[in-house]
Chain A
């Protein structure tokens, strides 16, 4: 059992608010990713969980126990640092055994647990080496082993894959997820890489400017973004600003001279809104049709598995649609239609 409860946690520095009134409940054995751009407060949140930063206000509870004022050495958390932070003057075995020796475990048990943990992270036979003699991926595994060997209730990872090359990153991603599942350990994972968050985490907490924007699983976040920021940050979106107009059962956004049919749950008529539409929610047509408009300056960008159709519209500005890789541009005009667009109010979600 290991639950985490952040209750109205805030932390400010001289003139900025790093984390603003953040409340988040993390369930036992859950893998939660804190996702956001740099400076969004995700690392500060993680460091408050680890005990390196004391929140200005709010409470942090682990298994119902208030740990807000408990120093890191007495918290049941273990952290994997972005830079790995392996001690260069100790061998791999000594790095991993450090915490065990502090707890005065018998020598045989220390050796036993160190060896076993290296097998869990898939790195047997490097005990006598120094961190500098290992590759980045290996150092990453040692850092993970060092964190896990103490049997923490909560594993904290701070952008652990950002120093690895692309191929290795994907492999380590699956590896970390496998280990987490194997050990059934509650995990908080900080990243700015949405692919990592979407593929690894049970739930994703999206943050921006210190404010928690939305918590949900990958589908929630992608399909039902709660704020314009989330819609823009996750995946890519066409963003337009306009005014909401409600008429009976239908709603549309007035964007300059043009209008876009939108989903706008509960927003009032006349509200200033940001409209967001995914590139895959844009229908591409060869002939004019109701609600469709002509795309000016169409051009294609090849992404291998698919293509992106880019172009312009006098009212909407730059637009983007996703098309199959067989799609080609001829001399004939191309038309676009919004099949699904969502409206977000401009004043919420971005309170700063």
Chain B
């Protein structure tokens, strides 16, 4: 046997990743940064919504009041907008799911030609400035009579939500072992039966996460809704834009809190019923 030259230990520039203490410290720093950049603006909003009087340089309002809340909640325009937002979002989510679940399954399981290309196609609306897309969509809507209608807004929202749903459900279906489905077929289940008894229940966490994102995206959509929905269909974020531009800061704050509440509630519900690894799995693998 020839004498072997002992290999020198390789010098890695990422040595610090292996150090548990440094890793922990970085994680804490990151969490703190997140808290500062997300938490403080949110907190400011909440403070503003309850502020009676708040002048610089005071750190908190000098006077507290529920006046703005009362003003907002008694305004029929606001209640109408809330009603509209929360009737559009579930319909958008449901319709998206009806299209995206079969599409996701097909992308994950079947030998779809140009699979990659088609999946990328869903991303195209996100690759360009939305405003351009919305303006040309508005032109189209004028021609086919969808401008300033409920369904016009629903379809517009679906352009965005289809992306989340299709990508997340594709990833979810792909993470399910095809043998599980085959075992169901083997036990006597038709392809449809196997899907509903085995695949769909296992994909549920991913589908719920995707639906959640769709719902929130629909509630949040303002640009496009403003263009195709005015003057009769004003959703919450569209109204918010109007309020902000009229410089009623406390009113806008109340409104923002109102807008954030359903999202917060949904996320808390989701957190309770979904394991975090499911959420991660739903988002991670494509």
Jot down 29 A-B pairs with beta carbons below 8 A, ordered by A.
A50-B182, A52-B182, A52-B185, A71-B185, A72-B185, A72-B186, A73-B186, A73-B187, A73-B189, A73-B190, A74-B188, A78-B187, A79-B182, A79-B183, A81-B182, A81-B183, A83-B179, A85-B177, A85-B179, A85-B182, A87-B184, A87-B198, A89-B201, A98-B189, A98-B197, A102-B189, A102-B193, A146-B183, A150-B188
Query: CB of A124 within 8 A of chain B?
Result: no
In the docked arrangement, what's the CA distance between A264 and B193, Å? 57
Bound complex: CA A81 to CA B181 (Å): 11
In the assembled complex, the CB of B179 is this many whole angstroms from the nearest CB of chain A, namely: 4
> When the two chains form the complex, which single residue of A85, A88, A89, A102 contacts B188, counting CB atoms closer than 8 Å?
A102
Closest chain B residue to A71 by CB distance? B185
Chain B residues engaging chain A, CB cutoff 8 angstroms: 177, 179-180, 182-190, 193, 197-198, 201-202
Residues of chain A contacted by B183 (CB below 8 angstroms): 79, 81, 85-87, 146
Q: Which residues does chain B contribute within 8 Å of A102, judged by CB atoms?
A: 187-189, 193
Complex Cα distance, B184 from A85, in Å, reads 9
Write the residues of chain A forming the contact surface with B, with a CB cutoff of 8 angstroms. Answer: 50-52, 71-74, 77-79, 81, 83, 85-89, 98-99, 102-103, 146-147, 150
Q: Are B182 and A146 in contact (CB under 8 A)?
A: no
With both beta carbons as reference points, the residue of chain A lying nearest to B204 in the complex is identified as A89
* Closest beta carbon of chain A to B187's beta carbon, Å: 4
B185 in contact with A73 (CB, 8 Å): yes
| Residues of A close to B185: CB separation below 8 A | 51-52, 71-73
A98 and B184: CB pair below 8 A? yes
| Chain B residues in 8 Å Cβ range of A89 | 201-202
Q: Roughly how many angstroms separate A128 CA and B86 CA in the complex, as a whole number?
A: 41
Nearest CB in chain A: distance from B96 CB, A: 24
Q: Quick one: given A85-B177, A88-B202, A98-B197, are A73 and B182 in contact (CB under 8 Å)?
A: no
Q: Majority SS of interface residues in chain B?
A: helix
CA distance A195 to B193 in the complex (A): 39
User: Given contacts A87-B198, A88-B202, is CB(A77)–CB(B186) below 8 Å?
Assistant: yes
A86–B202 CA distance with the chains assembled, in angstroms: 12
> Complex Cα distance A102/B190, Å?
10
- Provide the bound-state CA to CA distance between A150 and B185, in Å: 13
Q: How far is the CB of B11 from chain A (nearest CB, A)?
A: 39
Contact check, A146 vs B179: say whether CB atoms are below 8 A apart. Answer: no
Residue contact A72 to B182, C-beta cutoff 8 Å: yes
**Top-7 shortest CB links A-B:** A99-B187, A85-B179, A85-B183, A72-B185, A102-B188, A73-B188, A81-B179
A99 CB contacts on chain B under 8 angstroms? 187-189
Name the contact of A85 in the complex, choosing from B180, B189, B190, B201 (C-beta under 8 A): B180
Q: How far is the CA of A147 from the CA of B184 in the complex (A)?
A: 11
The docked-state distance in angstroms from the alpha carbon of A77 to that of B188 is 10
In the bound complex, how far is the Cα of B81 from the Cα of A99, in angstroms?
51
Query: Are A87 and B180 also in contact (CB < 8 A) when A98-B197, A102-B193 are?
Result: yes
B residues in contact with A146, CB < 8 Å: 183, 187
Cβ-defined contact, B187 with A50, below 8 A: no
Cβ-neighbour of B177 out of A50, A73, A83 (below 8 A): A83
Bound state CA distance, A73 and B182, in angstroms?
9
B192 to chain A: closest CB distance in Å?
11
Chain A: minimal CB distance from B207 (Å)? 14
Cα A223 to Cα B48 with chains together (Å): 90
Known: A73-B187, A102-B187. 10 other contacts (CB 8 A): A51-B185, A71-B185, A72-B185, A81-B183, A85-B180, A85-B182, A98-B197, A102-B189, A102-B193, A103-B188
